[in-house]
Structure 1
Amino acid sequence: MVMGKGLASGGLVLLGLWLCVHSVPISVEKSTGKPEVEELEPPRSTDTGLHYDRYLREVIEYLEKDPHFREKLKNADMDDIKQGKLSKELNFVQHNFRSKLDELKREEINRLRMLIKAKHDTEEHNGQAMDHQTLLKQFEHLNHMNPHTFEVDDLDRLIQSATKDLENFDKERHDEFKKYEMLKEHERRERLKGMSEEDRKKAEQHYEEMKKKHANHPKVNHPGSEDQLKEVWQETDGLDPQDFDPKTFFKMHDSNGDGFFDESELEALFTKELEKVYNPDNEEDDMVEMEEERLRMKEHVMNEVDTNKDRLVSFSEFMAATKKEDFDEKDEWETLDQNPIYTEEELRDYEQHLANEESDISKKSVELQKQREELERQQEELNNQKLGLKQVKKIKRLKFLFIFSSKHLDFHQIPIFKSTLFYKRVRFEIKK
């Protein structure tokens, strides 16, 4: 399972909000002549984790190059973007940029068609039925009925798809983590079943000791609280906590200087707290759990501080949060070991799911073995047929040689015919 931190990190959540992609600003000079279309370099913004990520970012980068659209993008609010008002501004984008968007869409359509064909061929080869609804979802971010030009509807679909998909992305990560934890516990219990009574008791005792050791860690400050930020100020920045200044803190940790904390910049602030609980050198500490803990911390801060829900923390939002009463939160943050991830019933259901999958795999394995044996049998028959054909050709050659020799030579003087057994066999074949 991949629990990559880079997936959907960096505040890339809504297509329409130019601040969410943070591409390097590109100045477009006004001129009387036709503007030149620059060659795109590889997208510089962070990977969203969406299957149409490159298409999404390249569309945004080209739209930002158009002076009119760029200005509208800066002044648009989240509601305008979600309601499709911004998409209509595509009608005023310069022709040469529209042509590039048309080209990007055609490339995306071709990419999707190739992927779907490959998936179709794979499923057909494995004897699986095609899931047409799932395949159609691959095209939701564009209007595939018009495969040639990029229109207002395409931009609106891209905005809506990116918004929906990225809003659900964290939930999918949590679901993957839950499966990971249940699988880990399932495998542990399976190992115990194969042990002797004595070994099982030792393993259980060791397991409980590791759990206690992991839970025995220093106090974890509430993410986004004054104590938590002051600890970063002191431990990471090397400054006196008595001199803590929120404004200076924000500027120091806004690594790209754009006036916002994106998701990756925000997650970096929790490293000191996570190091209290997780150490890659410790047997009892799981680094996959550490990344889940980091995600929980980020979500907590976003829920508390990100008032406009664009998944970015602006300077004004940050400063407003430092003035709230709960900024002085003193309670310890409850870590994963204090919050059960799944219930016993969920674990049983998951184990049943695994058993069903194992049964399906076993049945398919038996079928494949039968197919293999049948192919081997057919191959053996084919080999026997080839051998028979070779023997027939050899006999025919011997017939010819015998007839020719009997007319022109004393074949008894030829070494091969000195064998009585061979002589009788050839005579027999000739009579046939």
Structure 2
Amino acid sequence: MNVKPGWLLLLSISAGVWSIQFVVNNPVLYNPLLQDTGLYYDRYLREVIEVLETDPHFREKLQTANTEDIKNGRLSKELDLVSHHVRTRLDELKRQEVSRLRMLLKAKLDSTNIQTLQMDHASLLKQFEHLDPHNQNTFEAKDLELLISTATKDLENYDAERHEEFKRYEMLKEHERREYLKSLDQEKREREEKRMQELKEKHRQHPKVNAPGSVAQLREVWEETDGLDPQEFNPKTFFKLHDTNEDDVLDEQELEALFTKELEKVYDPKNEEDDMMEMEEERLRMREHFMKNVDANKDRLVSLEEFLKSTEKKEFNNPKEWETLDTKPAYTEEELQRFEVELRDKEEELKRKAENLRQEQELLKERGKALEAQRREYQQVTVPPHLYHLKLDRKSAACESYRGQTLVRINSTTSIQPVKAPAEHEGEVRNNLPAEPPQNLPLHT
């Protein structure tokens, strides 16, 4: 299926950083759960796109739509002209999404112990920007407009969030390194510091890394990955070779695959000194650098025209050497100090919560002991069924057995012990007892 690059922006939104090609006519190939943008409304987003792709009118409009038509919401006005069964399916998808969001809200309120007599769903749903909260039953043009604009905005922030997560990862790694060294005596600490420094230097001793998108970098892929003669390098042929889904654009996934050869110069999962998290951050930096220089219309896709124009620039043949992550730290010392303060605050909070849980556990234990004591007290005053007809003496906690066979004594531990009746009292006991046990006596004394 070949569609215009403008619609591919929406398709790339639906797959996030890892763009995919929709194969709507083959349900075996298309599985919405195979790719995940990381957005909390990811599945809803991709299911809406899949349904819209099945409408002939909407598909026709997509052929003539440009990127701006999609991004500014003009395309959403065509929703009024789609077929009835498509609108019905979209209505159903929206109701399912609203129901899911209600469950999320309820779980959030339950976790914060907020008790509400009546939940105002319309007001609470306003915090979700990807649908119209005032109309919870039908999918309208405004819903499509909100869905596209929200996803575009969220994914623009996605790379920034990944950079921030990596920075926190690096700071945590340095914090743990320092704490580990503090736990060692001076001799061991000096030895460990020397070993760590040697690993760092070893990591830095890697071959030169070509700038992403430069002629040297592309020729290397052409020769080593594609197995072609570097002297016959052709940008147009290169583009066609690496447009793996044949949609006439290079998406972010296809671009990042081009940088694998450069990354292998620096990172090897078998080496202790190489961190694979750093490799993925390096890959992201390379892709951003490539996009900055090539993606002229900022639609997160590279067309053939954009690619060929980039090969005419001065930087294509004479680029600056690529600076890898080991040339400069991902954070400052001040940022690390603030991060460590944050860690200490969180640790103190966890300690307070742990202490509260310990106190609650102690209270539960005390309550359990009280309940156990109460249970034993009830057992002490309970008469066993085979003693219903006996006359108990509570003061002496003793009784006489039925028909003079034995005396039964209830001791302080509620155990019942049979005692042989003295011979001289055996007849007396027999004469004083009724011939038949009385009926309907109370179960307890």
Instruction: Tell me the residue number matched to 2:155.
Output: 166
Cα 1:297–1:384, aligned 2, differ >3 Å: closer, same or farther? Answer: same
After superposition, give the CA deviation of every residue in 1:402-431 in whole Å (9 maximum; x if it has no partner): 4698596336677823499xxxxxxxxxxx
Are the counterparts in 1 of residues 390 and 402 from structure 2 also a CA contact under 8 Å? no
What is the CA deviation profile of residues 357-410 of structure 1, one whole-angstrom value per residue up to 9, with x for unaligned ones? 000000010000000110111011111111111111048975842469859633
Query: Which letter maps to 2:418?
Result: I
Determine the C-alpha separation between the residues in 2 that align with 1:294 and 1:11: 23
Q: Is 2:217 aligned against 1:242?
A: no
Which deviations, in whole Å up to 9, do the C-alpha atoms of 1:20-67 show, x marking residues without a partner? 76312659xxxxxxxxxx999633884322111111111111112222
Which is helix-richer, 1 or 2?
1
1:253 alignment partner, one of 242, 250, 274: 242
Give yes or no for the alignment of 1:24 onto 2:13: no
After superposition, the CA RMSD in angstroms is: 3.2
Alignment-derived partner of residue 433 in structure 2: none
CA distance in 1, matches of 2:216, 2:142: 48
- 1:13/1:162 contact within 8 Å kept: no
Change (3 A) 1:334 1:408: closer
Instruction: Report which stretch shifted further, 383-392 or 109-118.
Output: 109-118
- The alpha-carbon distance between structure 1 residues 417 and 44, as it changes in their structure 2 partners (threshold 3 A), is closer
Preserved contact between residue 260 and residue 315 of structure 1 (Cα < 8 Å): yes
The match for 1:364 is 353
Letter aligned with residue 417 of structure 1: V
Alignment CA distance shift 1:150-1:11 (3 Å): closer
Aligned counterpart for 2:31 among listed residues 16, 19, 42? 42
Q: Taking structure 1 as reference, are residues 418 and 175 closer, same or farther at Cα in structure 2, changes over 3 Å only?
A: same
Q: Identity of counterpart residues, as a percentage?
A: 55
Offset from partner CA, 1:245-301 (integer Å, 9 cap, x none): 111111111111111111111000000000000000001000000000000000100
Shift of 1:16: 13
Which one-letter code corresponds to 2:341 in the other structure? Answer: Q
Aligned twin of 1:196: 185
CA contact (8 A) 1:90 1:151 kept: yes
The answer on whether the counterparts of 2:132 and 2:142 sit within 8 Å (CA) in structure 1 is: yes
What are the residue-to-residue correspondences of 1:84-163 with 2, within 5 Å?
Answer: 84-124=73-113, 136=125, 139-163=128-152
Higher-RCO chain (CA-CA 8 Å, sequence separation at least 6): 1
1:332 positional shift: 1.6
- The change in CA–CA distance for 1:328 and 1:91 in structure 2 (over 3 A counts) is same
2:235–2:308: 8 Å Cα contact kept in structure 1?
yes
Cα distance in structure 2, aligned partners of 1:391 and 1:16: 70
Q: Quick one: which amino acid aligns to residue 188 of structure 1?
A: R
Distance 1:402 1:306, change over 3 A: same
More moved, 116-125 vs 190-199:
116-125
Contact 1:13 1:167 in 2 (8 A): no
Equivalent residue runs for 1:355-394 within 5 Å: 355-394=344-383
Structure showing greater radius of gyration is 2
Cα distance change on mapping 1:44 and 1:224 into 2, 3 Å: farther
2: distance between equivalents of 1:135 and 1:197? Answer: 58
Residue of structure 2 equivalent to 1:328: 317
Q: Which residue of 2 aligns with 1:311?
A: 300
Aligned to 2:430: none
Aligned partners of 1:16 and 1:354: how far apart in 2? 34
Amino acid paired to 1:210:
L
Determine which of 54, 57, 64 is the counterpart of 2:43. Answer: 54
What amino acid maps onto 1:410 in structure 2?
Answer: G
Residue 297 of structure 1, aligned match among 286, 300, 318: 286
* Per-residue Cα deviation, 1:303-340 (whole angstroms, up to 9, x for no partner): 11111111111111111111111111343200011122
Match of 1:416 in 2: 418
C-alpha change, 1:400 and 1:243, in structure 2 (3 Å) is same
Give the counterpart letter for 2:46 in structure 1: R
Runs of 5+ consecutive residues of structure 1 not aligned to the other structure: 1-9, 28-37, 126-131, 421-431
Matched residue, 1:212: 201
Residue equivalent to 1:266 = 255
Q: 1:413 and 1:397, CA in 2 relative to 1: closer, same or farther beyond 3 A? A: closer
